[in-house]
Amino acid sequence: MRRSNVWNTGAYRRLGATNGKTYVIIDAHLHSSGHETTKDVLESLDRADIDFGVILAPFLTAPYSLLNRNSLRDGNRYLSKLIAGHADRLCGFAVVNPLHAEAPFDLEEAASLPGIRGLKMVPTGWYPYDDCAHRVYEVAARFNLPILFHSGIFIDGKSGRFCRPTFYEAVRDHPGLRVTLAHLGWPWCDEANAVGLIDRINGVEADASQFRFDISFGSPPAYRAETLRKALEVLGADLIQFGSDRFLPCPGEHIRSAIDDVSALFDELSVDAGARQRIMSGTAASWLGIGD
């Protein structure tokens, strides 16, 4: 696998993993479109130097839609087949919509599919504290499925009003849940930091915290350094993880550019090697249960 020297350090330690595999870069936020092949995915990861990818079931590209329950079930099955046999490189996050009364059942169904290890949720038309969402959280907690939430504004014009970081405090009713808020909640990054800070104030170990935050960027470039600097100071690298938020199929170079953007910010902020390693793989490895 090609390794570029974006880290500007030869000293960082490779993460060990329980199966003996090591992870240097985990992309914890990659979208399936429903139109990629397994070969496409693995080639893109190789070209991007990504050791392990979290692939989200398709829900934004036709015929898959959050509004159509059966399309989501189809998408979850599609994803399971896409990643089958590649547990060393890939895991799948199912998608359900709590507005569908059968969503808890659909999640149970998805959790039984090979390779499905978590859940992606996108609040639109429901709030993260609604009863319908709690019914889904109960299943996620029972099956030990981490959840990746969209948080913050949407770039496609959907209303972001359902996705403010503080609304996700509802998951504290399910202490076993381990969730990630995407995009650092932008433009509500201060609010996201406040949510994540609570466990730190109370002395909860980072890996035991219910919240971590991905730095797939919702924010325009002008905000990114400040956003990351504050998150690092308030939350610490232990609660921050990398995700490219790229849509497959795409060239590995497209994913790689997200890594390079983050690397440039690390340089700008003088982030040390240990913190870089934690953000690029350690936080997600712990969250996914694949770290050492």
- For residue 214, what are the β-bridge partners? 241
DSSP state, 15? B
Shortest distance in whole angstroms from residue 245 CB to Zn ion? 4
DSSP state, 85? T
Binding residues for Zn ion, rule CB under 5 A, total: 1
Shortest distance in whole angstroms from residue 86 CB to Zn ion? 21
C-beta nearest to Zn ion: residue: 245
User: Strand 147-149 relative to strand 240-241: parallel, antiparallel, unpaired?
Assistant: unpaired
Cβ pair 123, 163 in contact under 8 A: yes
Q: Respond yes or no on whether the N-terminal peptide bond of residue 146 is cis (omega within 30° of 0).
A: no
214 interacts with Zn ion by CB under 5 A: no
SS3 90: strand
Site string for Zn ion, 256-285 (x = CB under 5 A): ------------------------------
Binding segment for Zn ion among 45-53, 124-132, 160-168, 243-251 (CB under 5 A)?
A: 243-251
Cβ-based nearer residue to Zn ion, 106 or 245: 245
Cβ-based nearer residue to Zn ion, 51 or 245: 245
Shortest distance in whole angstroms from residue 60 CB to Zn ion? 8
Cβ-based nearer residue to Zn ion, 27 or 245: 245
Cβ-based nearer residue to Zn ion, 116 or 275: 116
Shortest distance in whole angstroms from residue 122 CB to Zn ion? 8
| Whole-number Å distance between alpha carbons of 177 and 258 | 28
Binding segment for Zn ion among 94-102, 106-114, 245-253, 266-274 (CB under 5 A)?
A: 245-253
27 interacts with Zn ion by CB under 5 A: no
CA angle 101–181–250, rounded 5-degree value? 90
| Whole-number Å distance between alpha carbons of 222 and 60 | 27
Binding segment for Zn ion among 104-112, 129-137, 187-195, 237-245 (CB under 5 A)?
A: 237-245
- Token pair for residue 64? 């898959």
Reported as type and span, the H/E element at residue 240 is: strand 240-241
| Whole-number Å distance between alpha carbons of 222 and 213 | 20
Binding segment for Zn ion among 172-180, 199-207, 242-250, 263-271 (CB under 5 A)?
A: 242-250
Shortest distance in whole angstroms from residue 30 CB to Zn ion? 8
245 interacts with Zn ion by CB under 5 A: yes
| Whole-number Å distance between alpha carbons of 219 and 80 | 31
List residues near Zn ion by CB under 5 A: 245
